[in-house]
Structure 1
Amino acid sequence: MKVIVCVKQVPDTSGKVAVKPDGTLDRASMAAIINPDDKNAIEAALTLKDQTGCKVIVVTMGPPPAEGMLREILAMGADEAVLVSGREFGGSDTFATSQILAAAVNKIGVESDDIVMCGRQAIDGDTAQVGPQIAEKLGIPQITYVADLKVEGTEVTCKRMLEDGYMTIKTQTPCLLTAIKELNTPRYMSVGGIFDCYSKPMTVFDFNALKDDPLIELDTIGLKGSPTNIFASFTPPQKGQGEMLEGADQKTVDVLVDKLLAKHII
């Protein structure tokens, strides 16, 4: 059994956000982090490794510097890493990205007892589309919004969170699961893991390695081929500093009402 985890390096939204003239993010000039929901998927895979001894392979699509993120995940306990990187893939939307990642997973190989895991969604796009699209491309069942996970042989039981409750779903491997933050608490890198991470296998799949895979439609990948394009991206204007009113008496209420009236809010 192995668990293949698809992860994404995303901009640190707590810092500077830079946008290129074509509307895409200037990722090279921004601090990058592991997508938060993907960390929960990584932790779920590593927990299964602790329980069953399965192999954990982490996959990402991105520029060459994304290798640093993969090394960090190897230091957390993953066994192997795959970097999907090529200029032809740059600017891909979710439809294109899911094709490319599905082809990479297909090249790694999905066997009868394997699980593919993703985070629910990425904080830079918030679409929650790539995981389900990968499952559709691979032709395997999927369970999204996983908040609890139990694996017994080839049977996978998940608690799937909904807005007003949850449902329990069982499926068979191979399958794809998308994790949410309620699933677990991600672990940190270990000292031993940091020492070992550069001796673990790191494979690079470029355009030539994947272009002949039947899961990829070459005219629908990259910035030009993607069916959807970004109309505009911008940094939200910074809000002005708020004003705190002290007190909880009628006088304070009168001051607040006067200020609201002056601004024509009420």
Structure 2
Amino acid sequence: MNIVVCMKETPDTTAEKRFTADMRLDRAAVPGVINPYDEYGIEEALAQRDKLGGEVTLLCMGPERAEESIRKALAMGVDKAVLISDPALEGSDLITTARVLAAALKKLQFDIIIFGQASTDSNGGMMVAAVAELLGLPALTWASRLTIEGGKAIIKRAHETGYDVVEAPLPCVVSVTQVINVPRYPSLKGIMQAKRKELTTYKLADLGVEAGSVGSAGAGTKVESANRVVLNRTPEIFKDPERAAIYIADYLEKRKLI
């Protein structure tokens, strides 16, 4: 079973955010971590490999500094990794990112591709569908349980009233949620082994992708303007619980919320 798990390095949500003059997040000034949602994808890929045999390859598109996060995934037990890194990729949107990932995936052997449900920096959750469409593969999304058997993938997708069971033939693309497993911690042995594991780096030229078709130049979406939110309201502090309760009740009643 050849499993590819896609990982994104995202800004550490616990770190102070810094912005450029045009209000873009200054990613170089914020520590990067494995996208927390992708840790569940990595764990699921490892669990399926441990059960079925085979190999797990991690695929990441990002700057060269993403190697630190990739090495952590390798320490968790991933067999090998591929990093797509090229200066022209800066400013890529969802569609251009999906095109690059799809181009890289065409160079890899896989029976199934696993994503986390979304990324913490954009929280869109659409990458799995975009990549699946570009590859012409079925997509199974928001899996709370994954079973691979009989040449197909079967997922449970939990919702408010229960769950759906959805299946698709292999190869296919799957996204998993946080309830599917508990990600493992890298062991000391795993950390040492990760330093020697294979990490291949692709440039756009290696994928046959033109620089002008990606990044800000190739993005199909544009941000016209962005402004920092300024809060001018002075907070009102109530030390008396009774006064606070009356104020809250009046506030909600005026807005017809109660």
**Is the structural similarity TM-score above 0.5?**
yes
Q: 1:165 aligns with which of 157, 162, 169?
A: 162
Matches within 5 A, 1:123-202: 123-202=120-199
The range that moved more, 157-166 or 54-63, is: 157-166
Q: Distance in 2 between matches of 1:240 and 1:67?
A: 45
1:255 Cα deviation after fit: 5.2
RMSD across aligned positions (CA)? 2.6
Supply the distance in 2 between the matched residues of 1:150 and 1:261 (Cα, whole angstroms).
52
Aligned partner of residue 102 in structure 2, secondary structure: helix
1:24 Cα offset (Å): 2.8
Letter in 1 for 2:69: M
Query: CA separation of 1:122/1:235 partners in 2, compared to 1, >3 Å: closer, same or farther?
Result: farther
For 2:247 and 2:63, how far apart are their aligned partners in 1? Answer: 55
Give a deviation string over 1:26-74, Cα, whole Å, max 9, x none.
1110022111111111000000111122200001111100011100000
Looking at structure 2, the residues matched to 122 and 259 of structure 1 have their Cα atoms a distance apart, in angstroms, of 35
Partner amino acid, structure 2, of 1:167: D
- Structure 1 residues 225, 195: closer, same or farther in 2, change over 3 A? same
Q: Where in structure 1 do 4 or more consecutive aligned residues deviate above 3 Å?
A: 162-165, 216-220, 231-246, 258-262
In 2, Cα distance between equivalents of 1:191 and 1:242: 51
The 2-side partners of 1:188 and 1:237 are apart by 40
Question: Unaligned stretches of 5+ in structure 2?
Answer: none
Letter in 1 for 2:214: I
TM-score (norm: length of structure 1): 0.86
- Structure 1 residues 259 and 207, CA, compared in 2 at 3 Å: closer, same or farther? closer
- Structure 1, residues 192-218: CA drift from partner, whole Å, max 9, x if none? 1001001110000012101x2xxx576
Task: Quote the Cα distance in structure 2 between the aligned partners of 1:231 and 1:139.
Answer: 33
Alignment correspondent of 1:41: 41
SS at match of 1:199: coil
Change (3 A) 1:74 1:255: closer
Q: TM-score, normalised by structure 2?
A: 0.88
